[in-house]
Each structure stands twice: as structure tokens, then as C-alpha cells.
């Protein structure tokens, strides 16, 4: 929780800095027409978060010579430090909070009986089976009109991690768009891609790959 | 001495050429090939030994082992095995005695250009006492002691002493800082989460950096090695681009536009951050000016654009786009101008990284349904497949000297991290713990 506060806090400081500097206060990114673009953003964020760019340190300083002093016929003593240029990780409450929230989402989604939609290799086309699953999901959503749904796009382990994130988003959006076609209000749907980073099955086999190429519908329980 | 001057002259010249003339000039490509081609004359080095001069039994042997591996991995030296060449190595921890002189003459006759030896011991009787390590270099060409180093530190830093000494050797004979003190950032599975870790370039001294219990992906180093920049999920719903300061663990969000924000890549001078974002619909490439905070959109098309990587002179980007169907590599100016397709072979080419020498772009290519490492020259004229066999290879990242790549592979089952020479030889596995290690990123040289 501390971490979250810190992130927002720095964004706030940033936004103040931007407002204070006339040359920089211009918002340089126009948000597009896609309703999804702001869907995932939590409400009540500071101006700094909306501008979408946080603090940025100067990283351009490059040391030269790498601290090497060269060989010497009468070498003087060089102290070798502990090598701890790395801070000790601070196990904040975040991991526990995430685990609790994931469990709550899973329980709510299981209770709703929402169905996943599965995809072919390298594909984000909704199959006939997928349409049937989403039709059932749409009916459930219409009869539970307050519930917000997150459509997660997942991929199998083949291919690169980066491209699978884009592919996962295409799958999630294909499922989201079909639900909207079926009459679900787009404002109730958000999408997120997990690429191949959260597989439901871990074997190196097609039977497993099939289960991982999916659009997974989750009932949002938190923010 | 002449040899050293020659080598550093053309390495230095190559870097200058790449910077001044531009990476697409053919002259620069020749320089890189020179450095990795099979008949490149490595300098024969014999490590006589690191003598134990009081202290734990393992001390000298440990330093010697690390040093030998560093010397071998440098690819600048050819580590020769002295006993198998008939050169007996007496215990010469005390330096240039009469027996040592005889060994050096023998080695010189057999063509060994450089001999290295040293000693290590505790400074006091106390178990907690500091280690004192001395290393010496003898050059058979000039028949004299070139010089040495003396390091002092706790017993926990003896590997670092060996790494430092190895880098001094590389520096002495090439003018380059060496890679033995570089680090590799990567992502490791922790239960259902993926957290950032950093390890030494040889897979030792692993440290965990994040522990937020969800996904942290694709770390990249800042040019000054002080920060990692990576993709993180805020509340599991949107992917932001975060930064973490290694020394303090301080972490904050840099890009939070909504939607998918992935594959951050910093320009070599640190002034621009290229990244992919879907906040305007589909995944497009953007460029943040880190000084003015202004974001410029670089690509405009309905397909997915991602994975930008900078040319060493900062003028161009290589990236992935599926505008032709499957993912392929494209090049463009770093302002989004002059887009052209680079890869035409195969129906899946992704995850490109531009070599620090400028002359190759490494990437993941699909052949026979397997995902392997390939390299292609920026003019598209030369292409080579580096890895073969089953398994998914992913996330190649260059060593700062351009002689190695680190990457992840499932070739042994679970995803683990491997190092490979830039010519596809010498694969070495770096990670052995854990269920899933991926997305390695090699740090700049210190």
C-alpha cells in the first residue's frame, strides 16, 4: 500500500512541476477515440496521472574507463566493495494484497459461471464455440447489470513474450467487441493482456497450449 | 606492446567509425566481422595459478577458477592449458623467482604471449580479516613484468576481485573495459508472480529487486546502470512502465497512459524512451523525450507495432510490426520517418535488439515451428541462424562488447537463461534455480 501511495505521490509532484512550467504544461498526447483507452485508469487520479508521464531522472551520465586504473609494477591497494549496489528488497504488503484480490476475483468469477473463449494458434478470431460461450456470458451480464467484467487475453508459450502481449490484447479486444455486439454496454468491459505470463497450464504440449490461448472473463471485485 | 596498440587501434577505430559514419555504411560492418570471425587472432594467455598465501583452503582456487572463466569468456584471449603444453607450473606465489623465470621462457617459446599469476590470503589471523589478493601479468613479448593489481576486501567479494582483475587484463590488451563486472537483469517466477532479479554476468550473486506479487516484465537498463525500466501491472488492470533505482529500491511509474504499455527501450544517450502503447487503440510506437516529457507518436497504422531497439548512434530504430500479417522486423528513423521492412525470410520474426557495435540485429526467428535466435545485418544483406533444436528462444540481449548474447530458452524444459557467443558458438547456461527465468537484459559496461 505504501508503494501505491508513493507512485501517486510522485505523480502529483510531477503534475505540480508541469503546471509550474509553462513550456511543459502542454499535454502532448491526445487520447484517442477508443473507449478502452481510459477504461483501465482508476477514478480520482491526480492530474499528473492523467498526463501519463511520471518523474524521470537523468540517466545519461556514463562513466568512462569503468573504474579501471590499469596495471602497475608496484600496485597500490585497491579496496573492493561489497558489490551491494543493490538495495535489499522490501517485502511490502503488496504481494499479500495481490494474492487476496486475485482470490476474490477468482471466487466471484467462478460463482458467476462465466465461460472462457479459446483461440487458434497465432489467431484472434472468435470461433463458433467462442461465440456460443460469449453469448452465454452476455446473457449473464445483462441479468447482472452492475457487475464490471475484465476480459483477460492469454497466449500459449510459443512465440516471444512481447509479441504475445500484443496478441493477447487482440484476443481480449476481439472477445470484448463481440460482447458489445451482443448488447453489453462497453463501459462495463475492460481488457488486459497477460500474454504468455500467466498460463493456466504448464506442459509443453498442444493440449495445454489450447487451454492457454484464451480470453478469460473475470468479475472485477476491486478497483 | 605493439600487439596491444594494434588491437586497441582498430577496436577504437571501429567504434568511432560506427558513431561518425553511421551504422549502415559497409565499412562498419567489416570491423565487426573482424572481431568475431573464426580466424580472429586471440591472445594466448596462460594462468599459472593463484597461490594460497594463508587463509581458507578454497581461496586461491576460487579466484583462479573465476579468473580463468572470465578470461575465456572475454573472447579476447585464448586460455591455454599450460601442463598439457608440457609447461610445468611451480608454485610461484612469491613472484619472479629463478624458477618462475624458467617457466616464462618455456611458455614464450611455445607461443604463450601472456602469463598471469597471483596470490591470495587473509591479512590477519582473525577469520573476519580482509582478503589480500595480488595478481601479476607477464608479457613474453617484452620478457618482463607488465604490472599487477592488489585488491583488498572481505571474503564475500573474492569473485569480484577476480572479475576486476579479468577486466583489467582485457583493458590492458584491447582498451575496452571488459564485461566481467557487468550484470544481467531478468524476470523470475515466484509462485503466480513474476519479479525482477539481477545477477552477475556469470549467473552468480542473484538479488531480488521487486516483491509486489504480480507481473513485472521486460527490464531494460538505463545507460548509467543506475535504473531498470520495465513493464508493471497496476492493480492487475493496466500495464504501466515503471522505473526502479537499484541502489535504493525506490520505484515509481514513468508511463501510465492506460492500455498496454510495453517494451520500453532507452536511447543510448538516455535522452529518449521508445515504447509501445495501445492507449490510442492498437499497439503503436511512441517516443518520450525524457527531458521535456513530451511524447511523440512514431507509427500510425492499424496493426501491432512493438519492441523498438535503438541503433548505437541513436538515429534509427528497429521494431516489430504485424502490418504484413505475421510479425516482421522494420527499420525507421528515430523520429518515425523512412519506414522500411528488414526481414522477408520466414513468417515470424520478432524481439529485435541492435548490437552495440551497430552491425548486427539479433532477433527471434521461427524456423520449422521452433523459435530460434537469428542475426541480420541492418542492410538486410547478411543473415545467420545462431541456435537450433527444440524449444522457444526469446528476449536476446547483447553484451556491451557485442561479442555475446544472453537469451531465455525452454530447450532444457523450463525457461532458463543462457549466454551464447555472437557467432552462435559456446552456449553456456546461467540459471539453474527456479521454475521460470526469462527476459534477460545485459547491463552496459561499468
Boundaries of domain holding A212: 105-219
- Residue A51 has what pLDDT? 76
> Is B379 domain-assigned?
yes
Partner A contacted by B304 (CB < 8 A):
yes
**A61 chain-B contacts, CB cut-off 8 A:** 224
User: Considering only alpha carbons, which residue of chain A is nearest residue B411?
Assistant: A204
Task: Find the mean pLDDT for residues A47-63.
Answer: 71
Which domain-ending residue is among B174, B203, B236? B174
pLDDT of A81-127, one tens digit each? Answer: 866 567 777 666 778 888 888 899 999 999 999 999 999 999 999 99
pLDDT of residue A50 exceeding 60, the answer is no
Task: Find the mean pLDDT for residues B122-144.
Answer: 86
Q: What CATH number does the domain containing B216 carry?
A: 2.120.10.30
Co-location of B165 and B272 in the same domain: no
**A40 chain-B contacts, CB cut-off 8 A:** 237-238, 258-259
Give residue B140's pLDDT band: very low, low, confident or very high (50, 70, 90). Answer: confident
Degrees, nearest 5: CA angle A94-A99-A102: 120
> Is A149 domain-assigned?
yes
Query: Are A80 and B445 an interchain contact pair (Cβ–Cβ within 8 Å)?
Result: no
Co-location of B258 and B350 in the same domain: yes
Task: Find the mean pLDDT for residues A5-29.
Answer: 38
Number of domain units in chain A: 1
Looking at chain B, the number of H-run helices and the number of E-run strands are 5, 29
Q: What ipTM did this prediction achieve?
A: 0.88
Count the residues in chain A: 223
Instruction: Specify whether the CB–CB gap between B296 and B285 falls below 8 A.
Output: no
Co-location of B260 and B383 in the same domain: yes
Task: Find the mean pLDDT for residues B136-163.
Answer: 90
> Is B28 domain-assigned?
no
> Is B23 domain-assigned?
no
Distance CA A213, CA B217 (A): 20
Co-location of B388 and B272 in the same domain: yes
User: Which residue of B233, B245, B262 is in closest CB contact with A162?
Assistant: B262
> Is A100 domain-assigned?
no
> Is B202 domain-assigned?
yes
Number of domain units in chain B: 2
pLDDT of residue B385 exceeding 90, the answer is yes
Which domain-ending residue is among B132, B152, B174? B174
Co-location of B140 and B217 in the same domain: no
Co-location of B343 and B223 in the same domain: yes
pLDDT of A123-165, one tens digit each? Answer: 999 999 999 999 999 999 999 999 999 999 999 999 999 999 9
> Is B187 domain-assigned?
yes
Distance CA A131, CA B59 (A): 66
Co-location of B108 and B256 in the same domain: no
In sign, the C-alpha dihedral spanning B300, B302, B307, B311 is negative
Instruction: Specify whether the CB–CB gap between B141 and B167 falls below 8 A.
Output: no
pLDDT of residue B387 exceeding 60, the answer is yes
Task: Find the mean pLDDT for residues A19-43.
Answer: 35
Query: In this complex, how many residue pairs, one in chain A and one in chain B, have their CB atoms less than 8 Å apart?
Result: 306
**B190-196: long-range contacts at Cβ-Cβ below 8 A with a sequence spacing of 24 or more?**
B192/A99, B192/A102, B192/A198, B193/A95, B193/A98, B194/A197, B194/B436, B194/B438, B196/B228, B196/B230, B196/B244
User: Strand runs (DSSP E) across B280-346, as ranges?
Assistant: 284-289, 295-297, 305-310, 316-321, 328-333, 340-341
| Residue among A161, A154, A131 at smallest CA distance from A208 | A154
Instruction: Specify whether the CB–CB gap between B203 and B182 falls below 8 A.
Output: no
pLDDT of B301-330, one tens digit each? Answer: 999 999 999 999 999 999 999 998 899 999
Q: Identify which has the larger pLDDT, B35 or B44.
A: B44
Co-location of B194 and B102 in the same domain: no
Q: Helices B2-21 and B26-36, interaxial angle, to 10°?
A: 140
Boundaries of domain holding B89: 42-174
Which domain-ending residue is among B155, B174, B193? B174
> Is B229 domain-assigned?
yes
A9, A19, A37, A59: best mutation site toward chain B, by most B Cβ within 10 Å? Answer: A59
> Is A3 domain-assigned?
no
Cα torsion B391, B394, B399, B404 to 10°: value is: 30
User: Considering only alpha carbons, which residue of chain A is nearest residue B246?
Assistant: A86
Q: What CATH number does the domain containing B105 carry?
A: 3.40.50.10070
Co-location of B267 and B317 in the same domain: yes
User: Considering only alpha carbons, which residue of chain A is nearest residue B365?
Assistant: A159
pLDDT of residue B77 exceeding 50, the answer is yes
pTM: 0.86
> Is A180 domain-assigned?
yes
pLDDT of residue B203 exceeding 90, the answer is yes
**Residue that is written with C-alpha cell 537450433 in the block:** B388
Interface of B with A in 55-114 (CB under 8 A): none
| Residue among B44, B31, B38 at smallest CA distance from B3 | B44
Grid coordinates standing for B233?
501491472
Co-location of B138 and B195 in the same domain: no
pLDDT of B409-444, one tens digit each? Answer: 999 999 999 999 999 999 999 999 999 999 999 999
Within 10 Å of residue B147's Cβ, how many Cβ atoms? 18
Query: Are A34 and B146 an interchain contact pair (Cβ–Cβ within 8 Å)?
Result: no
Instruction: Specify whether the CB–CB gap between B127 and B91 falls below 8 A.
Output: no
pLDDT of residue B292 exceeding 50, the answer is yes
Q: What CATH number does the domain containing A123 carry?
A: 3.30.1330.60
DSSP type of residue A53: B
State the pairing for strand pair B193-200/B183-190: antiparallel
Partner A contacted by B175 (CB < 8 A):
no
> Is B160 domain-assigned?
yes
> Is B25 domain-assigned?
no
Return the bridge partners of A218, or none.
Answer: A150
pLDDT of residue A28 exceeding 60, the answer is no
Co-location of B262 and B322 in the same domain: yes
Co-location of B314 and B437 in the same domain: yes
Instruction: Specify whether the CB–CB gap between B325 and B347 falls below 8 A.
Output: yes
Amino acid at each position: 500500500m505504501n508503494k501505491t501511495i508513493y507512485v501517486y505521490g510522485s505523480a502529483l509532484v510531477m503534475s505540480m512541476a508541469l503546471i509550474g512550467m509553462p513550456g511543459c504544461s502542454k499535454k502532448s498526447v491526445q487520447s484517442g477515440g477508443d473507449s478502452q483507452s481510459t477504461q483501465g485508469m482508476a477514478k480520482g487520479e491526480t492530474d499528473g496521472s492523467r498526463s501519463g508521464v511520471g518523474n524521470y531522472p537523468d540517466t545519461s551520465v556514463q562513466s568512462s574507463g569503468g573504474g579501471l586504473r590499469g596495471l602497475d609494477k608496484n600496485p597500490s591497494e585497491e579496496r573492493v566493495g561489497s558489490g551491494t549496489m543493490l538495495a535489499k528488497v522490501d517485502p511490502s504488503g503488496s504481494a499479500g494484497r495481490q494474492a487476496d484480490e486475485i482470490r476474490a476475483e477468482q471466487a466471484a468469477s467462478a460463482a458467476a459461471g462465466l465461460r472462457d473463449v479459446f483461440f487458434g494458434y497465432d489467431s484472434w478470431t472468435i470461433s463458433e464455440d467462442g461465440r456460443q460461450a460469449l453469448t452465454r456470458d452476455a446473457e449473464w451480464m445483462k441479468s447482472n447489470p452492475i457487475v464490471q467484467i475484465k476480459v483477460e487475453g492469454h497466449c500459449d508459450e510459443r512465440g516471444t513474450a512481447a509479441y504475445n502481449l500484443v496478441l493477447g490484447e487482440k484476443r481480449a479486444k476481439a472477445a470484448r467487441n463481440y460482447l458489445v455486439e451482443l448488447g453489453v454496454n462497453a463501459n462495463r468491459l475492460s481488457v488486459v493482456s497477460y500474454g504468455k505470463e500467466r498460463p493456466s497450464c504448464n506442459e509443453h504440449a498442444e493440449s495445454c497450449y489450447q487451454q492457454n490461448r484464451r480470453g478469460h472473463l473475470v468479475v472485477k471485485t476491486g478497483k | 606492446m605493439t600487439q596491444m596498440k594494434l588491437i586497441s587501434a582498430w577496436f577504437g577505430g571501429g567504434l568511432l567509425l560506427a558513431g561518425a559514419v553511421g551504422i549502415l555504411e559497409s565499412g562498419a560492418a567489416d570491423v565487426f566481422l573482424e572481431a568475431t570471425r573464426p580466424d580472429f587472432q586471440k591472445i594466448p594467455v596462460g594462468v599459472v595459478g593463484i597461490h594460497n598465501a594463508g587463509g581458507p583452503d578454497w581461496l586461491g582456487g576460487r579466484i583462479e577458477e573465476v579468473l580463468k572463466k572470465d578470461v575465456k569468456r572475454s573472447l579476447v584471449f585464448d586460455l591455454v592449458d599450460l601442463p598439457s603444453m608440457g609447461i610445468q607450473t611451480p608454485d610461484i606465489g612469491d613472484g619472479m623467482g629463478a624458477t618462475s623465470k624458467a617457466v616464462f621462457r618455456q611458455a614464450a617459446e611455445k607461443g604463450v604471449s601472456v602469463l598471469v599469476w597471483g596470490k591470495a590470503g587473509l591479512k590477519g589471523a582473525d577469520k573476519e580479516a580482509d582478503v589480500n589478493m595480488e595478481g601479476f601479468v607477464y608479457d613474453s613479448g617484452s620478457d618482463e613484468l607488465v604490472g599487477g593489481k592488489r585488491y583488498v576486501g572481505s571474503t564475500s567479494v573474492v569473485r569480484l576481485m577476480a572479475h576486476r582483475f579479468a577486466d583489467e587484463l582485457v583493458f590492458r590488451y584491447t582498451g575496452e573495459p571488459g564485461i566481467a563486472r557487468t550484470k544481467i537483469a531478468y524476470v523470475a517466477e515466484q509462485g503466480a508472480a513474476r519479479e525482477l532479479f539481477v545477477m552477475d554476468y556469470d549467473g552468480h550473486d542473484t538479488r531480488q529487486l521487486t516483491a509486489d506479487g504480480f507481473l513485472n516484465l521486460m527490464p531494460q537498463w538505463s545507460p548509467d546502470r543506475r535504473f531498470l525500466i520495465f513493464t508493471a501491472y497496476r492493480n492487475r488492470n493496466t500495464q504501466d512502465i515503471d522505473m526502479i533505482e537499484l541502489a535504493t529500491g525506490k520505484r515509481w511509474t514513468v508511463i501510465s497512459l492506460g492500455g498496454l504499455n510495453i517494451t520500453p527501450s532507452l536511447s543510448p544517450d538516455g535522452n529518449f524512451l521508445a515504447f509501445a502503447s495501445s492507449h490510442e487503440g492498437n499497439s503503436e510506437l511512441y517516443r518520450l523525450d525524457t527531458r521535456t516529457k513530451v511524447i511523440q507518436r512514431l507509427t500510425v497504422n492499424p496493426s501491432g507495432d512493438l519492441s523498438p531497439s535503438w541503433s548505437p548512434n541513436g538515429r534509427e530504430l528497429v521494431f516489430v510490426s504485424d502490418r504484413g500479417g505475421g510479425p516482421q522486423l522494420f527499420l525507421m528513423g528515430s523520429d518515425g520517418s523512412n519506414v522500411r521492412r528488414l526481414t522477408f525470410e520466414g513468417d515470424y520474426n520478432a524481439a529485435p535488439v541492435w548490437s552495440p557495435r551497430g552491425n548486427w540485429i539479433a532477433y527471434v526467428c521461427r524456423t520449422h515451428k521452433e523459435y530460434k535466435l537469428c542475426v541480420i545485418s541492418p542492410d538486410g544483406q547478411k543473415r545467420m541462424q545462431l541456435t537450433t533444436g527444440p524449444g522457444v528462444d526469446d528476449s536476446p540481449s547483447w553484451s556491451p562488447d557485442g561479442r555475446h548474447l544472453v537469451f531465455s530458452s525452454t530447450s532444457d524444459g523450463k525457461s532458463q537463461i543462457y549466454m551464447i557467443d555472437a557467432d552462435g558458438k559456446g552456449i553456456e547456461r546461467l540459471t539453474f534455480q527456479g521454475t521460470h527465468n526469462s527476459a534477460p537484459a545485459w547491463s552496459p559496461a561499468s
